[in-house]
Structure 1
Amino acid sequence: MDIRETHKRSWDILSDPTAISRIAGSFLYSEELTVKGRQSDNKAIIIETFGDSGQISVRFQQRSRISSDEKIILQRTLKNLLELNCRTIRRLNDFEFLMQAESVCIAKTNRKEERLRIKNDSVFATNIVYHPERFELNRHISPNVIRDILETFKDELKHPKFGEIYVGLFQSGQESKFEIVRKTKKIFYIQNTNNPGSYTEVLPQFVNYITYFGKNILSAIRRYKNESIISELILPLLYDKNDKDSFPKAYLWIRSAQEPILAEDLSELYALSEKIITTIQNSDSIKSTDRFDVIDISESGVKIRIRQKDILYNVYRNESLKFDLVFKGRPPIHMNAKICWRSIDRNGKLFLGLKFISDQDQLTSLRKLEYNLQSLRNRINSEKSNAAVVKIYRTSVPRRKKT
């Protein structure tokens, strides 16, 4: 028997298949089990055990997207909380799975803070502010973001030497030079369009013009001359330089008709591109003033349900968000919490398990939370007592016989 400690709670761990099979068959068989970290409404039942092998057949109340070899934790509170750690062997049908129960964890003590199930919207979350620590490069960047960038940097994009600096998105149907920059992640740079040497210079970070456009440099020189362009630069933005499969999403483009873009000018343009990238990444922040359901809550954390689509697929585990926690009839409490787990049910609702961040800045909020939770517990216990008295009173009154 092993022992582990998590979140200030000690556990006994059983890993012997025979012991696991006996617990599953004697105490958990046909009992309603909670699926940890998944849909809050989905429950599971062990419908068959297979000797002392530790293998069990599990039926879920709802269809579940579970893949082979996926880890599943089934919970049941008997005298103490019990967790059955399982690994999926194969799907039997839409609702049933064959699983290998690999260990049983038995909590030595109950959770320090009792979780309160919230009913009748007595507690809810609102004013969510979420800013991811990592920017998801695969997400679509909307033209609205680019318009905001143009407005934010409108002064810096009107360069005194080179004229207008453009910021745009890579799209299909553009000139071939844009597609080459996107695929190679290299910089298209013609320092002096009248100088053949600007087309033939080979540096690793720049597109070699001859490699992609052929050796007919004179036609390119004539074209630039007809367009009165002295220098051109296309600088790719927004890609992971360490990921060979990551392609840039946007670009910074200069077609200077006034002065050539010199090598010493590039550092200034790189700095501008980094500022633009940072601004786009910050635009990934999500704010919502909607009201979100609180499913359960304790002094250490809360479980909330979210329906809003822009939050649904854009929040990540182990990151943090800020929100207001509202107990009805009380002022909102400003909270900061870490996302411990997330799951989406078949109806497209997102469930987040949040752990309140305990730091100096949040001490006042945590004290207010403790006070409101204790008041809520007192009210719930009072309602239960009144309900019990009514029940006893009603059952003690003799029924009149019909005449």
Structure 2
Amino acid sequence: MIEKKKGLILEKTIANQETDKRPCDVLSDPSTISRIADSFLYMEELAVKGWSSDTKAIITKIFGDSGQIAVRFQKGSIISLGEKVTLQRTLKHHIELNCRAVRRLNDFEFLMQAESISIAKTNRKEERLRVKNDSVFATNVVYHPERFELNRHISLNVIREALEIFKDELTHPKFGEIKIGLFQSGQESKFEIVRKTKKIFYIQNTSKPSSYTEALPQFVQYSTYFGKNILSAIRSYKNESIISELILPILYDKNDKDSYPKAYLWIRSYREPILAEDLSGLYALSERIINTIQSSDSIKATDRFSVLNISESGAKIRIHQKDLLYNLYGKESLKFDLVFKGRPPIHMNAKICWRSVDRSGKLSLGLQFIYDQEQLSSLRKLEYNLQSLRNRISAGGSDATAFKIYRSLRPKRKKF
């Protein structure tokens, strides 16, 4: 989200960052907060949770034991009065200072009321290795969204692909052509009814009135939506020489009542009726088509993506490719090859814990490696490579550094 005011720009990243599950001590007494801020955070460079990773802030003044502080943000930052902001820093343990903007002091400095402070009781399980000189990188990234979405950029392509793959099966020996289509505005009302009800439009024999009035719950009841003038429908079908018709909705989350189908299979048989025993085969075909279309929604990238830091449990990587930049979201997973220079690739699965886009348009991802039976071999290789990296660090010949951030002995004044 980008806010504009008086020519200034603040980039706030919708971080989708998962709450740190480590236990925390939460303190809300103003005098206690003031003492901790004065001892550990005053004039130190602080990150702003949920904003782009390169946005920093500094506490420039602490007003006694009131819990009020003056905070200066980087040039280009704007905050609304009353807005809540979380300042964070990792010392021996991770600290988060939860504040509310009270008054603007000048262009980039605000009076903030510190409402609480959270201090992690434990540090991270493993120390992170900060990677330099591209000595560790990710490549061959494959991302498959857990929730399939058709959009105007991919819809025509995925339908074309499905038509090509299933062209033989879509020419049915009994019913003729089976069409795959997308629900769109301006179609006949029966398509909109199928989309909204998620039910199957099925007229087994267009010449028999019973085909319009007798229906199971999964089928559209013709007389309910089109009135009781069935003879008109029979004549219309007869004029077009259509014996049987089926519209089968596909591509929707069947467990989500708010999810509407995106596409359909459509059969208008001029040869013989579509019988009840034929439906199971058509359902199976629709499932194979759905799987093919959803697989085509996978995003693949073979570029090298920088690994900024890494441990046995996860990594922070930087993404620059647009296809990934605009489609990777928190709490979903991806696959990729992790490469330590001079070593074979390690095939990894990871969950996206958080995402943050910086002002240059690059995306940083916080990944948590997935530990399951299939990953055991890869995780052993990862542990071996990380230990080798630590050994080289100890010997002073590595392209990475191990880092734990502790409180500096004396505050350093930093300028933006």
User: Of 256, 262, 277, which residue of structure 2 is paired with 1:264?
Assistant: 277
Say whether residues 1:103 and 2:123 are aligned partners: no
Secondary structure in structure 2 of the residue aligned to 1:113: coil
Farther-moved stretch of structure 1 (304-313 vs 63-72)? 63-72
Deviation at 1:15, TM superposition (A): 4.0
Say whether residues 1:188 and 2:201 are aligned partners: yes
Aligned to 1:177: 190
Deviation at 1:167, TM superposition (A): 1.2
Query: Any gaps of 5 or more consecutive residues in structure 1?
Result: 1-5, 386-403
Say whether residues 1:198 and 2:228 are aligned partners: no
Aligned to 2:30: 17
Farther-moved stretch of structure 1 (195-204 vs 143-152)? 195-204
Alpha-carbon spacing, 1:325–1:241, altered in 2? closer, same or farther (3 Å): closer
Question: Contact 1:189 / 1:207 at 8 angstroms: preserved in 2?
Answer: yes
Counterpart of 2:129 in structure 1: which amino acid?
Answer: L
Measured in 2, the distance between the counterparts of 1:62 and 1:260 equals 72
Deviation at 1:157, TM superposition (A): 2.4
Deviation at 1:218, TM superposition (A): 3.3
User: Of 96, 103, 114, which residue of structure 2 is paired with 1:84?
Assistant: 96
Secondary structure in structure 2 of the residue aligned to 1:40: coil
Say whether residues 1:295 and 2:308 are aligned partners: yes
Farther-moved stretch of structure 1 (315-324 vs 88-97)? 88-97
Aligned to 1:281: 294
Question: Contact 1:38 / 1:342 at 8 angstroms: preserved in 2?
Answer: no
Residue correspondence of structure 1 range 92-131 to structure 2 within 5 A = 98=112, 100-107=114-121, 111-131=124-144
Deviation at 1:13, TM superposition (A): 4.7
Deviation at 1:64, TM superposition (A): 6.8
Question: Contact 1:188 / 1:235 at 8 angstroms: preserved in 2?
Answer: yes
TM-score by length of 2: 0.76
Alpha-carbon spacing, 1:292–1:262, altered in 2? closer, same or farther (3 Å): same
Say whether residues 1:251 and 2:264 are aligned partners: yes
Question: Contact 1:135 / 1:284 at 8 angstroms: preserved in 2?
Answer: no
Measured in 2, the distance between the counterparts of 1:56 and 1:164 equals 72
Measured in 2, the distance between the counterparts of 1:193 and 1:96 equals 75
Measured in 2, the distance between the counterparts of 1:68 and 1:198 equals 65
Measured in 2, the distance between the counterparts of 1:167 and 1:123 equals 45
Secondary structure in structure 1 of the residue aligned to 2:281: helix
Aligned to 1:393: none
TM-score by length of 1: 0.78
Secondary structure in structure 2 of the residue aligned to 1:23: helix
Deviation at 1:216, TM superposition (A): 4.0
Deviation at 1:229, TM superposition (A): 0.7
Say whether residues 1:161 and 2:174 are aligned partners: yes
Deviation at 1:12, TM superposition (A): 4.9
Aligned to 2:232: 219
Secondary structure in structure 2 of the residue aligned to 1:149: helix
User: Of 331, 351, 356, which residue of structure 1 is paired with 2:369?
Assistant: 356
Instruction: Identify the structure with bigger relative contact order (alpha carbons < 8 Å, sequence gap 6+).
Output: 2
Secondary structure in structure 1 of the residue aligned to 2:220: coil
User: Of 324, 342, 367, which residue of structure 2 is paired with 1:311?
Assistant: 324
Deviation at 1:232, TM superposition (A): 0.7
Measured in 2, the distance between the counterparts of 1:329 and 1:114 equals 23
**How many residue pairs align between the two structures?**
376
Alpha-carbon spacing, 1:55–1:156, altered in 2? closer, same or farther (3 Å): farther
Query: Any gaps of 5 or more consecutive residues in structure 2?
Result: 1-19, 399-416
Counterpart of 1:128 in structure 2: which amino acid?
Answer: V
Deviations 1:228-262 (A, max 9, x none): 11011111112234544432210111101111122
Deviations 1:79-137 (A, max 9, x none): x13412426568969966746442230555x54533232232222111112233x2244
Question: Contact 1:47 / 1:57 at 8 angstroms: preserved in 2?
Answer: yes
State the Cα RMSD in Å.
3.6
Aligned to 1:135: 147
Alpha-carbon spacing, 1:49–1:215, altered in 2? closer, same or farther (3 Å): farther
Question: Contact 1:69 / 1:87 at 8 angstroms: preserved in 2?
Answer: no
Deviations 1:155-174 (A, max 9, x none): 43232322221111112332
Counterpart of 2:370 in structure 1: which amino acid?
Answer: I
Measured in 2, the distance between the counterparts of 1:376 and 1:149 equals 46
Deviation at 1:354, TM superposition (A): 1.3
User: Of 211, 234, 237, which residue of structure 1 is paired with 2:250?
Assistant: 237
Say whether residues 1:144 and 2:153 are aligned partners: no
Measured in 1, the distance between the counterparts of 2:376 and 2:78 equals 40
Deviations 1:257-301 (A, max 9, x none): 111122333333233323322332333322211111111122332
User: Between the two proteins, what is the percent identity of the paired residues?
Assistant: 74
Alpha-carbon spacing, 1:69–1:259, altered in 2? closer, same or farther (3 Å): farther
Question: Contact 1:75 / 1:81 at 8 angstroms: preserved in 2?
Answer: no
Measured in 1, the distance between the counterparts of 2:36 and 2:185 equals 60
Aligned to 1:389: none
